[in-house]
Structure 1
Amino acid sequence: MLSDPVDLSADLGKLTIAKVQRAFAAGTLTAEALTQACLDQIAAQNPRINAIIFACDDALSVARDIDRRRQAGEKLGPLAGIPVVVKDTVDLVGYPTTAGWSLLYSGTGGIDLFPERDAPVAARLKSAGAIILGKTNVPKLSWTGTHANDSWAGPTLNVVQPDLVPGGSSAGTAAAVAAHMCLAGLAEETGGSIQNPASSQALVGIKPTVGLVPNSGVVPLSANRDVLGPIARCVEDAALFLDAIAGFTTEDPKTLASVGHIPEGGFAAGLSPDALVGKRIGLYGPGWRKDPLSPEAVELYDRAKSELVAAGAILVEDPFAGTGFADHRQITPGTPFFDGRGLESLPFDMGAYLRRLGPKAALQTWADFVRLAQAEDPLAKGAILGYLHELPDFAAVLQNPDLPPALSEFTALKTTYLRLVEAVFIRHRLDALAYPQMLGALPGLHSGEAIRETTVGELNIAGLPGITVPAGYYRSGAPFGLIFVGRLWQDARLIGLAHAYEQATLHRKPALA
């Protein structure tokens, strides 16, 4: 417990939200001092790492106001005084939403999309008292889960290993958290964009059940797959962040399904180091996916299995064997390692996003977006989103982008995945799955190779929750992570299991001294 004054120069990378809150309550730390320390860290590290592309100029004034209100005895939000960052694709009033694309930023000769109002998740962070320090870098139109090399702002580096990919598309959020620029950050996933950067930089990432967190006011790839969640340095911090952004809003009707699935007291309530005792955990194997692990990943996974057993878990080998689950995965032509089904709805989803920006926005419709894109068409054959033409319903959506697409193949596949997962969990009495998050070590930053993960596609199409947690390092120093996967709405259970594993192993090392 922090009762003495905090040495921010020494402790910044070791702080947790709970420790900071205790220090605030004890009067040994102020929001202004913590915010200034984070801003100093940004000034020192961001020129090299390139995590934050827009700095919020009101951060210190917000911090001072929180200190004033705390001293006056006012009731404050659960994240009051906690410095955070948000992904560039999330609408934040006063700042352009560029999606990493030069044509959507006036500073590189494009236009600016200034939102009329905050995205619900950004509004909730402000309401919770979080101090938003800035918006973070992403690849152009969030097209890759591996890097941010083609962002108008330039590449973001992996803080753990700068010569390796940082994970994408939430590369900047992960790097800001890993570099101690903030305590936690907002990320978003359509195809690995929370789990990949979190695992790549030895962090915790929560990819929630689709519908737990609203994704309106966020540049879409697929409203049916997009989901927002936290990246943090420990499970408890990620859970506290999730508390602030989860739940129903009329702006996103699918979040009505979350009612009744948010635990009383929040996702961080009742975390216990004994949560793995007696729990049945399914293991990665060809029944889930036919892709083999690298030899060193096998070694690290074997160690993780022994750690799970030591923590009291009961392991179940390849519970999907014989189910045909792995046969349903397809790699979409034109992508390196990605099942893009469900992204056909992009024209409709983009139109809905642009309308929400307000009547003064520089783009209003999908047709406006297409006209802008003519100068650098991302949908052209061979371009970054050209693979969408390979998806079954995309041509029909293009013909009438104002009509919501049926997505019959996507919904049939989603149904199949969910039925198989439910059957396997019941048959083997599973509490969760625990897989290596990647098949092997990270590729080089500019190698052109993609991260080869184990769950992207299956989780995103089915809408299942997954939580990454650091589980060691390759001999090269690249991070090795586990991902805990569960049934729909089992987010709280997974958080508990991930926390127990984290506390039993404490594998993560601060990326910066």
Structure 2
Amino acid sequence: MTRIWSISASRKPPLYRVVCLSRIGLPTMRLTPWFVKAGRIAFDKVSLWIVAAAFCFSVTLLEPFLSTGSIYGQEVTVTEMTVADIQLGYESGSFTAVEVTQAFLARIRTFEPYYNAFISMNPDALATAAELDDIYATRGPVGLLHGVPVVIKDNIDFGGLVTTAGWEGFSSDAGGVDMVPDDDAAVVTRLRNAGAIILGKTNLPDFAGHGTRTTSSVAGRTINPYNVDKVPGGSSGGTATAVNASFAVLGLGTETGGSIQNPSSAQALVGVKPTYGLVPNEGVVPLSGTYVDVVGPMARSVRDAALTLDVIAGPTTEDLATFSSAGRIPDGGYLLALDESSIEGARFGLVGTGWRDDYLPLDPVTEEHYKNAVEALKGLGAEVVADPFQGSGFVELYGERPSVPTQGAHDMLVYMLGLGPDAPFNSIEGWEELSGREYTRDRRGDRETPAPARPSATEAGDAYQAWRHQIRTLFRDVLEEHELDGLFFPQSGVPSRPVIEDPERPDYNPNNWAEIPSNIINDIGVPTVTVPYSFFDDGTPFVLALIGDMWSESDLLSWAYAIEQATRARKAPVLETVPAR
């Protein structure tokens, strides 16, 4: 039987979004509120009635999969719900996976029109939950994330659903051609094998190309639940808003240069930017897949982030770079390695102008919060070293970073070839033929796209790798010289930026998140974990960034756990039920 997702049988279908996906032989449709203006498609009244009829029909098909007469079933409180809460609820029989999924979908229906976290929804979410309930009743949980509602960024493939990467050219609703992969990205396969329920795919700026705001040509602007006048962070801002607003328990983001850290910082989340090669990139629309792109967890707690990393990390033949992680993952996993006392005796480097020459010195308000955090760190038994990179030549060497012109075209072609034989297209040329448009002109203006040469076969690629080895060696030399276990930085040099800024301001820059770790840590390939510490007066969070050498995720998560347990800083946002400004 074909199963079609629906939220409510007792109310009219929500006009902000209806998804009837290619998997069931119907075109994807998306209705949006009037106040989210960018990149929208207008539907006439006839289309609206067609969608409404399809929605009502979906309810009829869905009813056999529900455990109660009401679509909502038993009331479940999902705000700030953790994986442990869900596991305990299933063990005690307090609720089922269907009831949990219904509760999250109901919350999405209520608040999503105002926060705009999603690009599309998974039509099979409730059916998957019902199947998981059947399995649980007979043989227990299928994996570490059994029945846990999760979201994924819409540059990560979910087989049969459209992957837009935020760009209207990959969305038929927006006048483009749907990019539909045959199968899941490797990380999505791992999530589903662990029992996760993928609720939907989240918004991102076109091709993940913005680190401050999350506004796409497909779905418009995503809002920060803490303060609708402040940016949500980018480019994984849709995932951040969905997790922060408790539209899901956790989510996946991607990062090339701050795209997990920045929205995690803007929204008080634990974000894990892993070592390059720890988590597979297969099935992810690339920006720099050859060198720096990573996929990582975004969660409201360190435990949930660590557990998710346990699920998605490790070698796979789908991404040969992951074989570099063999033997680098803790035997018992990242979750079991968490230790509240881990900071005692550790030694950390503090931020300073030896690390970078922009975004420093810190904004005075940020500086005050950072000083308090450093004192708290010392109170947990740590030692600190001020500006250990000073005089090392680190800033100067980073300024010599070479570019690799062919990597973007190469990485995109590799990705498209992996879409599968049943995909609508497997190359830029295939997309151009179907769309009648020029990809290069649409994406790059009049700039010519280089030939997709493998970067390792070019002199530019050789130069980048040589430079990368040099700066990674210098990074390690500084840590060794000062006997540092890691770095303890503020993630941002200033509080969250306004959504709308004055373009006449002398220092105006539309992509201006004051990211302290990025893009440096991305080029070096080392991991970073964010953890909330406190809140500014405007209601936005001050978040720390813990940085270590390659494969140090276990230490970083353990330190983050110690800070989290000592501060209990995270708090749930109060969501609005009026249109965001």
Normalised TM-score (structure 2)? 0.80
CA contact (8 A) 2:240 2:263 kept: yes
Q: Percent identity?
A: 41
Match of 1:307 among 376, 391, 411: 376
Aligned twin of 2:390: 321
The residue correspondences of 1:148-297 to structure 2 (distance < 5 A) are 148-223=214-289, 224-291=291-358, 292=360, 293-297=362-366
Range moving further from structure 2, 58-67 or 113-122: 58-67
**Secondary structure, aligned partner of 1:72:** helix
Change (3 A) 1:294 1:369: farther
Aligned twin of 2:145: 79
Find the aligned partners of 2:517 and 2:277 in 1 and give their Cα distance: 19
CA contact (8 A) 2:402 2:463 kept: no
Aligned twin of 1:493: 555
CA contact (8 A) 2:203 2:216 kept: no
Range moving further from structure 2, 498-507 or 402-411: 402-411
Range moving further from structure 2, 489-498 or 398-407: 398-407
Aligned twin of 1:142: 208
1:105 aligned onto 2:171: yes
Aligned twin of 2:199: 133
Find the aligned partners of 2:305 and 2:518 in 1 and give their Cα distance: 20
Change (3 A) 1:104 1:404: farther
CA contact (8 A) 1:222 1:343 kept: no
The residue correspondences of 1:418-429 to structure 2 (distance < 5 A) are 418-429=472-483
1:503 aligned onto 2:565: yes
Match of 1:364 among 426, 437, 449: 426
Find the aligned partners of 1:165 and 1:177 in 2 and give their Cα distance: 16
CA contact (8 A) 1:191 1:456 kept: yes
Deviations along 1:134-162, one digit per CA (max 9) or x if unpaired, are 00001111111111223311100111111
The residue correspondences of 1:362-401 to structure 2 (distance < 5 A) are 362-368=424-430, 372-374=437-439, 377-380=442-445, 398-401=450-453
CA contact (8 A) 1:221 1:343 kept: no
1:474 aligned onto 2:541: no
**Secondary structure, aligned partner of 2:109:** helix
Find the aligned partners of 1:146 and 1:283 in 2 and give their Cα distance: 24
Letter paired with 1:443:
R
Aligned twin of 1:64: 130
Change (3 A) 1:171 1:417: same
Aligned twin of 2:498: 444
Find the aligned partners of 1:481 and 1:22 in 2 and give their Cα distance: 29
What RMSD over aligned residues (CA atoms) do the two structures have, in Å? 2.1
Post-superposition offset of 1:399: 3.7
CA contact (8 A) 2:268 2:542 kept: yes
Find the aligned partners of 1:369 and 1:426 in 2 and give their Cα distance: 50
Deviations along 1:431-456, one digit per CA (max 9) or x if unpaired, are 11010101101211132352111111
Letter paired with 2:489:
Y
CA contact (8 A) 1:345 1:405 kept: no
Range moving further from structure 2, 129-138 or 401-410: 401-410
Find the aligned partners of 1:97 and 1:487 in 2 and give their Cα distance: 33
Deviations along 1:405-434, one digit per CA (max 9) or x if unpaired, are 531232122112210121111111111101
CA contact (8 A) 1:101 1:151 kept: yes
Letter paired with 2:527:
P
Post-superposition offset of 1:275: 1.1
Aligned twin of 1:26: 92
Letter paired with 1:305:
V
Change (3 A) 1:403 1:288: closer
CA contact (8 A) 2:406 2:454 kept: no
Aligned twin of 2:63: none
Letter paired with 2:118:
I
Change (3 A) 1:172 1:435: same
Post-superposition offset of 1:373: 4.1
Letter paired with 1:486:
G
Deviations along 1:90-116, one digit per CA (max 9) or x if unpaired, are 110121111111111001110011101
**Secondary structure, aligned partner of 1:13:** coil
Find the aligned partners of 1:242 and 1:341 in 2 and give their Cα distance: 31
Find the aligned partners of 1:68 and 1:150 in 2 and give their Cα distance: 39
Aligned twin of 1:334: none
Find the aligned partners of 1:468 and 1:8 in 2 and give their Cα distance: 35
Range moving further from structure 2, 359-368 or 73-82: 359-368
Change (3 A) 1:28 1:117: same
Aligned twin of 1:335: none
**Secondary structure, aligned partner of 2:443:** coil
Change (3 A) 1:350 1:402: same
Aligned twin of 1:4: none
CA contact (8 A) 1:443 1:449 kept: no
Find the aligned partners of 1:399 and 1:10 in 2 and give their Cα distance: 53
Change (3 A) 1:466 1:346: same
Find the aligned partners of 1:30 and 1:299 in 2 and give their Cα distance: 46
CA contact (8 A) 2:297 2:308 kept: yes
Deviations along 1:350-370, one digit per CA (max 9) or x if unpaired, are 000000012333332244467
- Max radius of gyration: which structure? 2
Change (3 A) 1:115 1:344: same
Aligned twin of 2:464: 410
Aligned twin of 1:336: none
Change (3 A) 1:400 1:465: closer
Find the aligned partners of 2:164 and 2:138 in 1 and give their Cα distance: 39
Post-superposition offset of 1:19: 2.3
Change (3 A) 1:340 1:37: farther
Deviations along 1:332-386, one digit per CA (max 9) or x if unpaired, are xxxxxxx8945740100000000001233333224446774448522236xxxx7
Change (3 A) 1:498 1:340: farther
Post-superposition offset of 1:53: 1.4
**Secondary structure, aligned partner of 2:215:** coil
Aligned twin of 2:25: none
CA contact (8 A) 1:191 1:457 kept: yes
Deviations along 1:288-327, one digit per CA (max 9) or x if unpaired, are 1123111111101001101111111111111111111111
Change (3 A) 1:11 1:451: same
Find the aligned partners of 2:404 and 2:498 in 1 and give their Cα distance: 29
Find the aligned partners of 1:296 and 1:196 in 2 and give their Cα distance: 18
CA contact (8 A) 2:80 2:249 kept: no
Letter paired with 1:243:
D
Q: How many residues align?
A: 487
Change (3 A) 1:294 1:64: same
Find the aligned partners of 2:431 and 2:457 in 1 and give their Cα distance: 19
Consecutive unaligned residues in structure 1, runs of 5 or more: 1-6, 332-338, 390-394
CA contact (8 A) 2:233 2:264 kept: yes
Find the aligned partners of 1:8 and 1:279 in 2 and give their Cα distance: 47
**Secondary structure, aligned partner of 1:129:** coil
**Secondary structure, aligned partner of 2:79:** helix
**Secondary structure, aligned partner of 2:277:** coil
